[in-house]
Amino acid sequence: MIITIDGPAGSGKSTTAKLLAKELGGILLDTGAMYRSVTHIALEEKADTKDGKRMAEIARNINIEFVENEGPQRTLVNGRDCSADIRKKSVDANVSIVAAHKDVRAEMVTLQRKIATTSNTVVCEGRDIGSVVFPDADFKFYIHADTVKRAARRALERGEEMDDAKLEEIKMRDHLDSTRKESPMIIPDGAHVIDNTDLSIDETLKKLLELCA
């Protein structure tokens, strides 16, 4: 069974996906972490993130593993635990640029589909999952929330105060993700749309579980 969760930054889709995978006894395929991993390596190598050919080369040669132990799922990049590194502000500022490259997305989609064959139940979240990566998924969801609410959530995740800069960051991310030429963020055909502006993570999870029953 494949379940896809799409939606914009700060919508809570990553946290919801983690909890849903745990509830269903499946694996979490965090595609956002995959694009972040490519971006992290590019920044480490001081490569130009606008150089599509170079970004595709990094994506082609990268090794990404998701490891479940006690505590949160960890992301290993080329054998190193980069779980914290891929969440840095520098990665936030560049990941949409990297993810917009056609050849990068092709490499990642191939890897995502490969990882999905390793379990009977897969929960996959991102921005083009139900529309491009797994268009025939068993269940599709699109989670969104008010822009201000999403900016406040992102600030809370970082332990920072909410301000206009955070709001503008979210708006810019939305613009880049929804207007990119390759696999833009859209509501997938057949997806259940959930507005969780006024819902907690637990309430959002409950809705998904009910719809998957």
The CATH code of domain 28-118 reads: 3.40.50.300
Output the tens digit of pLDDT for each of the chain's 213 residues.
Answer: 999 999 998 999 989 999 999 999 888 998 889 999 999 999 999 999 999 999 999 999 999 988 876 677 889 999 999 999 999 999 999 999 999 999 999 999 999 999 899 889 999 998 889 999 999 999 999 999 999 999 999 888 888 889 999 999 999 989 988 998 888 999 999 999 999 999 999 999 999 999 998
Helices assigned H by DSSP within the chain: 13-24, 31-44, 52-61, 89-99, 102-116, 147-158, 164-179, 201-212
pTM of the complete model beyond 0.85 = no
* CA triple 76-126-178, angle to 5 deg: 130
**What CATH class is the domain 1-26+122-202?**
alpha beta
Radius of gyration of the chain (CA): 16
Q: Give the separation between CA 196 and CA 201, rounded to whole angstroms.
A: 8
Domains of the chain, by residue range, sit at 1-26+122-202, 28-118
Sequence-distant (6+) residues with CB within 8 A of 49 are 39, 42, 43, 55, 94, 97, 98
Handedness of CA 151, 153, 157, 159 (dihedral sign): positive
The phi and psi torsions of 195 (rounded to 5 degrees) equal -95, 110
Say if 1-26+122-202 and 28-118 have the same CATH topology.
yes
| Cβ–Cβ under 8 Å, residues 204 and 194 | yes
